[in-house]
Chain A
Amino acid sequence: EADIYQTPRYLVIGTGKKITLECSQTMGHDKMYWYQQDPGMELHLIHYSYGVNSTEKGDLSSESTVSRIRTEHFPLTLESARPSHTSQYLCASTGGPEAFFGQGTRLTVV
């Protein structure tokens, strides 16, 4: 079983607030990813990291930012949340060919 954790699981927040979605893994994986997924829709890669101090933007343009100061930690930040940011955010990591996902954060911006 993969040990990758996301908090919070659910978040309802007002427009304009700054939020940070947490993602941690205890497997020592170098590669970590953030995906965005609307209900019933496909996964979209928004950020990824191949190691400490390495971050890149993914295929889908996102107003969020990420950091990778420690191997196990890959937080995602929205400086000013908007209703268009309402979605599910999924964190994943790989230590080999397969990727493992966290439980996800369901974000609602009102």
Chain B
Amino acid sequence: QKEVEQNSGPLSVPEGAIASLNCTYSDRGSQSFFWYRQYSGKSPELIMFIYSNGDKEDGRFTAQLNKASQYVSLLIRDSQPSDSATYLCAVGPPYSGAGSYQLTFGKGTKLSVIP
């Protein structure tokens, strides 16, 4: 049974602070890692992906991956009230094109950025 674990929160941070969201996964064969943002009542939106160990930065977002520890995180710098949402961690097996492929989603962490 593949599992992706996230702290459900809510995680509250003041505006302008760094929000740190964490995720652990059970399948050591996982190769692709994603962060989705989901506003209340809306569908998930892909905001970051990372495939290699280390850090990947995109604007105010930084994804960090440590495959040895089976840990992936998302840092949001200069947090804004508009960042308030649920953040879903998703983990995928190696992608080969044809054949089966499914992402395993965590339950999500609810982030509240307080003005």
How many interface contacts (CB-CB < 8 Å) are there between A and B?
A: 51
B103 on the A face (CB < 8 A): yes
- 5 sample A-B contacts, Cβ–Cβ < 8 Å, listed by A number: A33-B102, A42-B107, A43-B88, A50-B101, A101-B44
Please give, as numbers and ranges, the residues of chain B lying within 8 Å of A103 by CB-CB distance. 42-43
A residues in contact (CB < 8 Å) with B: 30-31, 33, 39, 41-43, 45, 48, 50, 88, 90, 94, 96-104, 106
Please give, as numbers and ranges, the residues of chain A lying within 8 Å of B107 by CB-CB distance. 41-42
Please give, as numbers and ranges, the residues of chain A lying within 8 Å of B49 by CB-CB distance. 97-98
Q: How far is the CB of B61 from chain A (nearest CB, A)?
A: 15
B100 on the A face (CB < 8 A): yes
Question: Do B34 and A98 have beta carbons less than 8 Å apart?
Answer: yes
Could you say which of B32, B43, B100, B105 contacts A50, with CB atoms under 8 Å apart? B100
